[in-house]
Structure formats: C-alpha cells, structure tokens
Amino acid sequence: MIYVDSCLVIYAAERDDSVGDRARKALAAAHAPLAASPLVMLEAMVGPMRERGAESQLHMWSVFDRFEMLPIEPDAYVRAARLRARNPGLQTADALHLAVAQEEGCSLLWTNDSRLAAIAPGFAVDVLRAA
C-alpha cells in the first residue's frame, strides 16, 4: 500500500498544469493500492471549502474514492512526536503523515516534499521530482 501525501492529492485534483499532470500520472501508474488518512482529507478540503463552491468540494470528495482511508491511532502521534524531536524543522502535519504511513505498514509514502524524502530515504519518495 502506498500512502499519498496531501500535496499530491491537491495537485492531482486542482492543478491544470504540468505539475497536476505529473501528479495524476503518478497516481494512475501506482503499482499498489493507494492510501490516505483523515489528515490528508483535512488538508485537501481546505481550498474547496474556502472557495465555498459545492462543485469543487464534491470533486475533492470524489477523489478520495480511490484511496483506502487509514486511521490515525494514538501510537502514530507518539511516533510523530519522536520524528519531530529528532528532525528539527519537521512540521507536525508532515511528521504525522510519515508516522501514519509507517504505523499502518505502508510500503511507501509518496510526496512532493524533499524534506520527507531526506528524513525517510527509500520510504518517502518525492514522486514528482523522480518523474
């Protein structure tokens, strides 16, 4: 299972440019089931809710039909705190994405964040840079 960071979901759903195209192609070419968490949903829904347009909100909700929704268990918060303590500058949300993916046994975390890729090499992959 591949955990997909919020940025890729947002790019794939909202961007009509080469970045959006690359994100959509990466997700379409996934060799394993895709997973997300309620944190991904929270971050991805902000833009459509800010716009207050029902169509953009429905579109974003429909994007999540492709993903297995993983829970965020208490142990993931402890792991995220450990990650933040060991990696100065790592933001809470990024640490929690990484922790959820690890706790739930994902084989990879796809992102467009080179900082996550540096913290967890071989696990967190900047798929847009690699594309």
Residue 33, Ramachandran bin (φ over 0: left; ψ between -120 and 50: alpha; else beta): beta
The pLDDT score that the predictor gives to residue 56 is 85
Ranges 79-83, 95-99, 127-131: which has the least confidence? 127-131
Per-residue pLDDT tens digits for 42-71: 999 999 998 877 888 898 888 999 999 999
What is the residue-averaged pLDDT of the chain?
Answer: 93
> In 3D, which of 103, 15, 101 has the Cα closest to residue 111?
101
Q: C-alpha 98: how far from its chain's center?
A: 9
* Contact yes or no for 125/115 (Cβ under 8 A): no
What single DSSP character describes residue 121? Answer: T
pLDDT confidence tier of residue 32, bands split at 50, 70 and 90: very high
For the whole model, what pTM was predicted? Answer: 0.92
